[in-house]
Structure 1
Amino acid sequence: MKTPKVAIVTGAGQGIGLEIARKLLSQGSHVILNDLEKGLTENAVASLSREGKGKVLGYSGDSASQVVVQGMIDLATHEFGTLDQVVANAGITLFGSFLDYSAEDFQEVMRVNLLGTFLLTQGAARVMKNQQNGGAIVLTSSVTGHQSHENLAAYGMSKAAIEMLAKNLVLELGPFGIRVNTVAPGATLTERTTSDPDYARTWSNLTPLGRPASTVDIAEAAAFLLSDVARHITGQTLIVDGGWTSVSPSPYV
């Protein structure tokens, strides 16, 4: 019988992160599910516990905190003895025009999106190196790291930097069999975006394939990059946007 893999997924109380956790559980992985909000973490764990083949444990807290990151890693290794898959999905979006953007907002975007991703990747890679059987890490980027998007200068910077991290780590982690890739969603239907009644219609018109992504679309891509099927893929970014970055029409025009 195949030994279950063990995964950490951050920002997984809802939306894309939750769907990635659901997908991994359906494949038999055990999952440590993290969200900043305790209520979202608990609800997600309760829901997924009834669905997946694997086991799911919750760990609430700030994913950009070194204490929280280490706590998640310790929980995975203590409960399951290994750590094989990591999805650094937690992030924040703070819109604002470039000329008026505050230093405080800039620092918070970089703290959550960059520091949190860096710390989790670093901590997980240390464990994977010591285990001596490799591992797979997926970082969540965005199409805004590839194409200009109004009022998202800082956010776009952070996402482009995340992709560079994955590319750079090919050199340092490849020799240990640790793969690091990035998934870059385009417009996606989540709890946050569907609060805008015009979102689905607007992005259906702008997307060559005729609709925005579902969270399942993004989860399938992330699960592929984490799987053994992608065993010779590292340092890459998989854009999941229905073709939007090929033409890049703005929703503001």
Structure 2
Amino acid sequence: MRLENKVALVTGGVQGIGRGIALRFAAEGADIALNVRKDDARSADLRSRIEALGRRCLVLPFDVAHVGASASAIVHAWETLGRVDILVNNAGIEKHASFLDVSEADFDAVQAVNVKGAFFVAQAFARRCRDAALGGRIINISSVHEELPFPNFTPYCVSKGGMKMMMRNLAIELAPLGITVNNIAPGAIETPINTSLMQDAAQLGALMGNIPLKRLGTPDDVAAVAVFLASSDADYITGTTTVVDGGLLWNYAEQ
């Protein structure tokens, strides 16, 4: 198991990509600190699945957009689980609106979770790694839209572009502490955020025309890359984005 004796904090971990990563990490030997907005039946089910794999699971209900709550959660995870070696910044939201109709509230909400949240959770994590004289891994779940325009989702694209530059800067600043920082950029993945797309035959067909591999990705496609980046196999990799999109990025055209 590639992550044996490691502890990973996964934000937004109750569904979709975050859930897939939490389960895959646990299967590879890691204990899991699971960030959720609230501790409910979904988080209880996931905790039981992780524990059934023989791993510990600490559920941490907090909003990543609240800096103080994030910092306190990092402390709690460290004290309860003994350490945190890996941070997966997965929590994210998007709002659909044309540029001319984007509200200030929606713009601020997207940036607060996708950029500010990832930034300050990473800061709290890196500070604890520094104080404990331990290295670490930061893995940000970005998007192909850190590169690819997405009309009617401009605040989301802005946030993912910001995450790309944040990753590059942190990779340089945190390297002396032995902390690597990388992004994973998924394309179209079978997750709850894409439910309406998957139920619309016309939209789905148009999308498939842009994906050379002719299928949507799965959370496990992304989780497999996350395991690699979290493992010792990726010791010399930092400051990079790994695209997981079936070829979408370089074959995309607006319909």
TM-score by length of 1: 0.93
What is the distance in 1 between the residues matched to 2:4 and 2:22? Answer: 18
Aligned equivalents of 1:213, 1:200: Cα separation in 2: 13
Question: Per-residue deviation at 1:55?
Answer: 1.2
2:167 aligns with: 166
Q: Secondary structure at the match of 2:130?
A: helix
Task: For residue 3 of structure 1, report the CA deviation from its aligned partner.
Answer: 6.2
Counting matched residue pairs gives 250
- Is 1:74 the counterpart of 2:75? The answer is yes
Find the counterpart in structure 2 of residue 143 from structure 1.
Answer: 144
207, 210, 214: which one aligns with 1:210? 214
Counterpart residue number, 1:102: 103
CA RMSD in angstroms, aligned pairs only: 1.7
CA contact (8 A) 2:31 2:55 kept: yes
Report matched runs for 1:174-253 at 5 Å.
Answer: 174-196=175-197, 197-198=199-200, 200-250=204-254, 253=255
Post-superposition CA distance 1:4-25 (Å, at most 9, x none): 1111000011100000001111
Equivalent position of 2:48 in the other structure: 46
CA distance in 1, matches of 2:37, 2:124: 19
The aligned amino acid for 2:209 is N
Q: Which runs of 5+ in 2 are unaligned?
A: none
Q: Which has the higher contact order (CA 8 A, sep 6+)?
A: 2
**2:172/2:239 contact within 8 Å kept:** no
Assess if the C-alpha contact under 8 Å between 1:139 and 1:182 holds in 2: yes
TM-score normalised by L of structure 2:
0.93
Q: 1:202: how far off?
A: 4.2
Q: In the alignment, is the contact (CA less than 8 A) between 1:41 and 1:59 conserved in 2?
A: no
* Contact 1:41 1:60 (C-alpha < 8 Å) held by counterparts: no
Deviation, 1:35, is 1.2
Whether the aligned pair in 2 keeps the contact of 1:92 and 1:113 (CA below 8 Å) is: yes
Q: In structure 2, what residue type is equivalent to 1:85?
A: I
Instruction: Kindly state the Cα deviation for residue 110 of structure 1 after the two structures are TM-superposed.
Output: 0.6
Q: Go from structure 1 to structure 2 and tell me whether the alpha carbon gap of 1:44 and 1:200 turns closer, same or farther (over 3 Å shift).
A: farther
Deviates more, 1:113-122 or 1:185-194: 185-194
